[in-house]
Amino acid sequence: MTTVPQTSLSLRRPERLALNAGLVIFVALYAAIAFLQPNYLELGLFMNFLRRAAPLVILACGQLYVILTGGFDLSMGAVATLVVLAASILINGDPDTTWAVIGALYAMGIAVGLVNGLVVTFLKVPSIITTLGTMLLVNGLALAWSGGAARGDLPDNFRNLGRLVWRDVPVIGTLPLAAVVLAGFVALVWFGLNGTVYGKRALAVGDNPRAAELAGTPVAATRILAFVVSAVSAVTAGILIGGFSGVSVNAGEGLELQAIAACVIGGAQLLGGRGSIWSAVFGALSLFALFTLLNLLGLPQALRDSIQGLILIAAVGASTWRIRRRT
């Protein structure tokens, strides 16, 4: 009773901290980039940075949905690879079919998300195992379908989604289409979490599924929807990746782990119950800024993975330490 005022102060802090952690790290890293390459301060280059970061940010937003509900989605990268390969095979050089194919890609993604969600909720297989399974499954199917090598090319109208940059836009100068897609997608997922009751349900399910169920929450539906959103974001990211990197059999490799790392860096708590869409957005931007910085510093590509590993451990360690400190 009398302990209330004392705890409440220290409690509110981590929440604000979690919201800002990603933003603070991002600003610091981007400042370091700008120090090495002052022209990164130009709006044009910043827009270009956003364009290249867009797939990771989108993936992180989808991953966040699953993390909030207490799970992981390891199948995102495989879905992105599938999207790139399937697009080139299905479009097969005919630009008229692009939009129909994009619809088909989303259908495939939603199917994968549904499978993940149904297996996790009804067969009670832990999500990390379920999505590891679908990751292998989807990757294998994609490779088998494409014959193990990149086939065909993507038409310009598909690639523009990731590649097109409008020049001479009033006020901001250049505007990549990918940045518009990014903004639209973030607005949508933000609305899903903050503009509807879904977000709070997801947090409650991630925090204590049993209590949520007994309070009447549709736990299964909440979880399944999270996997579907995650898969949809993987398709979206895959389309952008196909746009600016072209067709490759390892287009999506490792992206799922980057997305998880991004959410954690931004302050989302693994196993659910804490985090916001800004954790995903700024966490992903931070991670991408870090990659850019390492490039500028001339570090070999391989070290990227090692550093990402370190950051992931540090971020989770820091968040548990923060939680432990206040109890």
Partner 1 sequence: MTAVPSLSMTGISKAFPGVRALDGVDFECLPGEVHAICGENGAGKSTLMKILGGSYRPDAGTIHLAGKTVQFTHPRQAAEAGIATIHQELSLLPHRTVADNIFMGREIARHGILDKAAMRERAAALLDRIGAQIDPQALVSSLSIALQQLVEIAKALLLDARILVMDEPTAALDERDSRTLLNLVDGLRGEGVSIVYISHRMPEVTAIADRITILKDGQKIWTRPRDAAPISEIVRAMVGRDLKDFYPSPPASAPGEVLVAITGGTNSGLQDITFDVRAGEIVGVAGLEDSGKGALAQALVGDVPFTGGTVALRGRSIDLRTPRQATAAGIGYLPGDRKREGLALRQSVRDNALLTLRSMTGIFTRPQRGALASAVIDERLRAMDVRAANFGQEIGTLSGGNQQKAIIVRWLAQASDILVFVEPTRGIDIAAKAAIYDTMRRFADAGRGIVVISSDMPELIGIADRVLVMHQGRLSGAVPRGASEEDIMHLALGLAEARHEESGA
| C-beta closer to partner 1: residue 19 or 165 | 19
When the beta carbons of 117 and 273 are compared against partner 1, the nearer one is 273
Judged by CB under 8 A, which stretch of 48-56, 103-111, 153-161, 214-222 contacts partner 1? 214-222
Site for partner 1 in 177-206 (CB under 8 A): 194-201, 203-204
Q: Is residue 92 within the footprint of partner 1 (CB under 8 A)?
A: no
Residue 201: CB minimum distance to partner 1, A: 6
Residue 16 in the binding site for partner 1 (CB under 8 A): no
Least Cβ distance, residue 270 to partner 1 (angstroms): 13
Is 279 within 8 Å of 228 (Cβ atoms)? no
Per-residue HEC secondary structure of the chain comes to CCCHHHHHHHHHHHHHHHHHHHHHHHHHHHHHHHHHCHHHHCHHHHHHHHHHHHHHHHHHHHHHHHHHCCCCCCCHHHHHHHHHHHHHHHHCCCHHHHHHHHHHHHHHHHHHHHHHHHHHHHCCCCHHHHHHHHHHHHHHHHHHHHCCCCCCCCCHHHHHHHHCEEEEECCCEEEEHHHHHHHHHHHHHHHHHHHCCHHHHHHHHHHCHHHHHHCCCCHHHHHHHHHHHHHHHHHHHHHHHHHHHCCCCCCCCCHHHHHHHHHHHCCCCCCCCCCCHHHHHHHHHHHHHHHHHHHHCCCCHHHHHHHHHHHHHHHHHHHHHHHHHCC
**Smallest gap from residue 15 Cβ to partner 1 (A):** 9
- Our CB check for partner 1 shows the closer of 35 and 191 to be 191
Q: Which is nearer to partner 1, 124 or 210 (CB)?
A: 210
Site for partner 1 in 254-273 (CB under 8 A): 269, 273
Query: In this complex, which beta carbon is closest to partner 1, that of residue 92 or of residue 326?
Result: 326
| Residue 17 binding partner 1, by CB under 8 A | no
> Under a CB-based contact definition with an 8 Å cutoff, are residues 6 and 135 in contact?
no
Contact call for residue 28 and partner 1 (CB under 8 A): no
**Residue 51 engages partner 1 in binding (rule: CB under 8 A):** no
CB closer to partner 1, 144 vs 321: 321
123 is a contact residue toward partner 1 (CB under 8 A): no
CA–CA gap between residue 23 and residue 278 (Å, rounded): 8
Nearest-approach distance from CB 208 to partner 1, in angstroms: 5
Q: Is 216 in the site for partner 1 (CB under 8 A)?
A: yes
Q: Are strands 173-176 and 165-169 parallel, antiparallel or unpaired?
A: antiparallel
Instruction: Verify binding: residue 214, partner 1, rule CB under 8 A.
Output: yes
In angstroms, what is the C-alpha Rg of the chain? 20
Q: CB of 75 within 8 A of CB of 134?
A: yes
Distance CA 48, CA 166 (A): 11
Residue 217 vs 248, nearer CB to partner 1: 217
**Binder to partner 1 among 56, 67, 212, 226 (CB under 8 A)?**
212
Should residue 8 be labelled a site residue for partner 1 when binding is judged by CB under 8 A? Answer: yes
Q: Closest CB to partner 1 among 10 and 157?
A: 10
CB 192 → partner 1: shortest distance, Å? 10
Judged by CB under 8 A, does residue 5 bind partner 1?
yes
Shortest Å, Cβ 65 to partner 1:
14
Q: Which residues bind partner 1 (CB under 8 A)?
A: 1-8, 11-12, 194-201, 203-204, 207-208, 210-218, 269, 273-274
